[in-house]
């Protein structure tokens, strides 16, 4: 089961109360105050883990409560602190405050660790209030309550390449040729009900290159506003660096115009936002083993006019698959190089100090 959304409530532990006590021992008539402080409540901690792939464990257990701190005791004994709770989330999870909608944290790397709910501070015992003029205080504090928060978790897959296109254009068949993935394949629409990941290796060691491909459930017109299944999975391609758009050029799809198919999908990406329309894209004409030559020729003219790379492929026979894989690997290297150069230029621009903004030192006159 692939669960990519969850809503949870977390309650950090309350702090223990401070103690009101006086030292009472034989031969010590005025022992003075001896109430200890209460212990701190346990925190709720969230940590990203590569061992988790979905949020299903939050769907069936949506509430978490940390242990409270123990109360202070006599003889200046401080109460024990509450035990923390650590919640594991998959890498790629985004944490939102459910009340305000504010993004709290983006777990983009493994082993990231943050405190999402702070445990309450323990109250002070009466020994803390003793002074030279107030030697027998009866004041003591109650423990502070721990934070109580509601969060919304959203998982976005971390993949290098996203496969997009209409339902039943051959995305699942294409990714099924990768040994790591065995998606469900059939002839009816919306075969893919959850994203599938596959690892593609190109070349031979030591020059072997690899990348992760995500098969996104098919999009239809109006997907960005809730039609079909695309609206709940479009966010999974936000983090991808490259899109591969599959277009069915056979007569099996029942759609006569492949150019219209391309424009509809590109319109959905643009309407969804998040910069999806600006991502680099490679076109793939699928099912060329049973292709309609007029459809293929029309798609080639469209791609040439718009400066798009087009690779005719057949996931069934394997024709064109290797060429597509190498083209994806080269395009990804180009994208990564551009990102690194942009980051380097930004660092250089921030490190350069404008000399006109430096303070002018006054010369000392003799």
Answer with the one of 129, 155, 181 that is the final residue of a domain: 155
SS3 of 160, please? coil
Chain centroid to Cα 61, Å, comes to 20
In a domain, 366, yes or no: no
Structure tokens at 95: 């944490």
pLDDT value, residue 14: 97
In a domain, 351, yes or no: no
Residue 169 sits in the same domain as residue 246 = yes
Chain centroid to Cα 82, Å, comes to 29
User: 21 near 126, Cβ under 8 Å?
Assistant: yes
Residue 203 sits in the same domain as residue 310 = yes
Per-residue pLDDT of the chain (366 residues; tens, 9 = 90+): 455 788 999 999 999 999 999 988 888 777 889 999 999 999 999 999 888 877 888 888 899 999 999 999 999 999 999 999 999 998 889 999 999 999 999 998 889 999 999 999 999 999 999 998 998 899 999 999 999 999 999 887 767 888 888 877 777 778 776 544 444 433 433 333 456 677 777 777 667 777 888 777 656 554 444 444 445 567 677 778 889 998 988 887 778 888 998 888 888 888 876 677 788 999 999 888 888 889 999 999 999 999 999 999 888 888 888 888 889 889 988 888 887 777 677 766 655 544 444 444 444 443
pLDDT value, residue 194: 54
Residue 220 sits in the same domain as residue 339 = yes
Residue 206 sits in the same domain as residue 95 = no
Distance CA 260, CA 116 (A): 47
The CATH number of residue 294's host domain is: 3.40.50.300
Helix (H), strand (E) at residue 61: none
* DSSP 8-state class, residue 165: -
How many CB atoms lie under 10 A from the CB of residue 86?
12
In a domain, 237, yes or no: yes
**Bond preceding residue 329 cis, omega within 30 of 0:** no
Residue 107 sits in the same domain as residue 187 = no
In a domain, 49, yes or no: yes
User: 117 near 67, Cβ under 8 Å?
Assistant: no
Answer with the one of 120, 155, 190 that is the final residue of a domain: 155
Distance CA 289, CA 76 (A): 83
pTM metric for this prediction = 0.65
In a domain, 31, yes or no: yes
The CATH number of residue 138's host domain is: 2.70.210.12
In a domain, 356, yes or no: no
Residue 174 sits in the same domain as residue 287 = yes
In a domain, 360, yes or no: no
Chain centroid to Cα 99, Å, comes to 19
Residue 245 sits in the same domain as residue 334 = yes
pLDDT value, residue 273: 67
Nearest Cα to Cα of residue 215 among 180, 249, 188, 250: 180
Tell me how many domains the chain contains: 2
Residue 137 sits in the same domain as residue 64 = yes
Residue 98 sits in the same domain as residue 182 = no
In a domain, 279, yes or no: yes
Answer with the one of 114, 132, 155 that is the final residue of a domain: 155
Residue 96 sits in the same domain as residue 179 = no
Distance CA 213, CA 236 (A): 11
Q: How far is CA 9 from CA 95, 104, 266, in A?
A: 12, 14, 38
Residue 33 sits in the same domain as residue 57 = yes
Q: What is the CA radius of gyration of the chain?
A: 31
Distance CA 81, CA 16 (A): 8
Domain hosting residue 40, numbered range: 5-155
Bridge partners (DSSP) of residue 28 are 25
Residue 246 sits in the same domain as residue 130 = no
């Amino acid at each position: 089961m692939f669960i990519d959304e969850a809503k949870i409530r977390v309650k950090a532990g309350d702090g223990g109360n401070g103690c009101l006590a006086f030292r009472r021992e034989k031969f010590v008539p005025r022992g003075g105050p001896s109430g200890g402080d209460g212990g701190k409540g346990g925190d709720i901690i969230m940590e990203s883990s590569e061992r988790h792939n979905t949020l299903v464990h939050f769907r069936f257990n949506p509430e978490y409560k940390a242990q409270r701190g123990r109360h202070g005791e006599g003889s200046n004994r401080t109460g024990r602190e509450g035990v923390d709770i650590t919640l594991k989330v998959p890498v790629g999870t985004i944490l939102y405050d459910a009340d305000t909608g504010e993004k709290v944290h983006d777990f983009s790397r493994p082993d990231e660790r943050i405190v999402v709910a702070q445990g309450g501070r323990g109250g002070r015992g009466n020994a803390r209030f003793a002074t030279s003029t107030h030697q027998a205080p009866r004041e003591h504090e109650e423990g502070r309550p721990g934070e109580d928060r509601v969060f919304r978790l959203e998982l976005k897959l971390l993949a290098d390449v996203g496969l997009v296109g209409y339902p039943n254009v051959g995305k699942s068949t294409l990714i099924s040729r990768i040994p790591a993935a065995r998606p469900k394949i059939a002839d009816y629409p919306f075969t893919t009900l959850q994203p599938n990941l596959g690892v593609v290796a190109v070349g031979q060691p030591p020059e072997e290159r690899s990348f992760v491909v995500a098969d996104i459930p098919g999009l239809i017109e109006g997907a960005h506003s809730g039609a079909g299944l695309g609206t709940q999975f479009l966010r999974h391609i936000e983090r991808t660096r490259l899109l591969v758009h599959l277009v069915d050029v056979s007569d099996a799809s029942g759609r006569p115009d492949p150019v219209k198919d391309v424009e509809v999908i590109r319109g959905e990406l643009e309407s969804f936002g998040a910069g999806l329309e600006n991502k680099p894209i490679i076109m793939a004409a699928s099912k060329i083993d049973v292709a309609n030559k007029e459809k293929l020729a029309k798609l080639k003219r469209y791609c040439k006019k718009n400066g798009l790379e087009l690779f005719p492929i057949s996931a069934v026979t394997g024709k064109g698959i290797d060429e597509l894989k190498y083209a994806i690997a080269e395009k990804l290297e180009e994208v990564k190089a551009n990102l690194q150069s942009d980051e380097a230029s930004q660092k250089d621009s921030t490190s350069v100090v404008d000399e006109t903004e430096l303070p002018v030192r006054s010369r000392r006159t003799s």
